[in-house]
Amino acid sequence: MKRFDIKNIKNKIVFLLLAVILVYFLATQLGFRKIMMPDTAYAQGKGISDEQLLARVINGEARGEPYEGQVAVGAVVLNRVRDPRFPNTLAGVIYQPGAFTAVSDGQINVPIDPNSTVVKAARDALNGWDPTNGCVYYWNPETATSKWIWSRQIVKKIGKHYFAK
């Protein structure tokens, strides 16, 4: 009987370990849930596709940020278009592989409400408002994984993001 008890405990430990590994794996790879989200339809504004694209990037990257932070993210994208170190078109900057996590994991495809603030923020950014005074980088200090980004000259902090040149 003793032998049987030990086996029981060993098995329980094995199951527990497996369960923990599975849960950990799923938790850290939570990103895959966003990819699996379907591309639902939303109303497309007539003609101004730049505004829609920029709004979707802002939505993916700065959804919970204050309005100023959303305009700032839009301004960073536009500053990159003008900067010789980055691609020369809006789509080029946005879809540059690895540039924005919201693009890499599909959040950019989340439909946006045409009346939401991200559309207003995109419009202000396209009209020239730049709360960052010319920055081309931004990151969230709590989630940034790149060490290199900290070597950039920080200009200011808006909401959760540092902005840098």
Site for another protein, rule CB under 8 A: 7-8, 11, 14-15, 18, 21-22, 25-26, 29, 31-32, 35-36, 39-44, 47, 49-50, 52-53, 67-68, 71, 81-82, 88-92, 94-95, 97, 103-106, 108, 117, 120, 123-124, 126-131, 133, 153, 155-157, 165
Q: Which is nearer to another protein, 36 or 148 (CB)?
A: 36
The secondary structure of 3-72 as a DSSP string is HHHHHHHHHHHHHHHHHHHHHHHHHHTTHHHHHHS-----PPPSS-HHHHHHHHHHHHHHTTS-HHHHHH
Least distance from C-beta 146 to another protein, angstroms? 19
Strand, helix or coil at 162? strand
Q: For the CA atoms of the chain, what is the radius of gyration?
A: 22
Q: Which is nearer to another protein, 30 or 146 (CB)?
A: 30
